[in-house]
Amino acid sequence: MINVLLVDDHDLVRTGIRRLLDDVSGIKVYAEAGSGEDAISSARKTRPDVVLMDVSMPGIGGLEATRKLKQIYPDLPIIIVTVHTDAPFPSSLLKAGATGYLHKGVSVDEIISAIKAVHNGQRYISADIAQNLALSLLPGNEGSPFETLSQREMQVMIMLVQGNKVQHISDKLCLSPKTISTYRTRLFDKLNVGNDAELTRLAMHHGILDGL
């Protein structure tokens, strides 16, 4: 039996995925979580075989939760299930340690295939996402400016465009306000923006806010 930890902040999404997997032989949604923090706590308690992880959630979100879970359990397979298919999300999450990446619109058969693949030590990336990743590497394709950000800068950026203040981000990521301010200044320089409003407009232009 493959025991799955399902992480999403929407009850309806979790209910839908769980019901889809209820009748699948050999796979069971063993535990659920509604935030990145809850995902880490639940993983410690239940030791799942596979995690299905959303990206856009309150608190630390899916990117930071993935990074922290892989630090604690390096061999834990994590499949990202999200609406974000374009750069920089897939590359950032794969760098953070995600083993699979699926769009929320995939069929139940593909979810099952992904779970079985990562449980067997393989990677699984939806065809459309794999194509986007491949195209972003072609010469002459500038891609997204957000691809230049480090994992931590990406996490701080996401929380800033969600309207979080420096102190709140500091509390959630367990870093000092000074450190968060340094990351904020650094990503402003990389993205050539001068304030949070310009950062938000750039994020909107590149689809970063879609689904957040």
Please report the domains of the chain, with CATH numbers, ordered by start residue.
Answer: 2-136 (3.40.50.2300), 146-205 (1.10.10.10)
Residue 82: predicted pLDDT: 85
| pLDDT tens per residue, range 153-164 | 888 988 898 888
Higher pLDDT: 143 or 99? It is 99
| pLDDT tens per residue, range 72-121 | 999 999 999 988 766 667 888 888 899 999 988 889 999 999 999 999 99
Q: Which helix (H) or strand (E) holds 137?
A: none
CB 62 within 8 A of CB 55: yes
Which pTM value belongs to this model? 0.75
Place of tokens 């203040």: 165
Q: Report the sign of the C-alpha dihedral through residues 107, 86, 6, 209, in that order.
A: negative
3-class secondary structure, 208 = coil
**With 50 as the cut, is the pLDDT of residue 138 above it?**
no
Mean pLDDT of the chain: 87
CB 199 within 8 A of CB 191: yes
Question: Binning pLDDT at 50, 70 and 90, where does residue 130 land?
Answer: confident
Residue 161: predicted pLDDT: 85
| pLDDT tens per residue, range 167-190 | 999 998 889 999 999 999 999 998
CB 179 within 8 A of CB 171: no
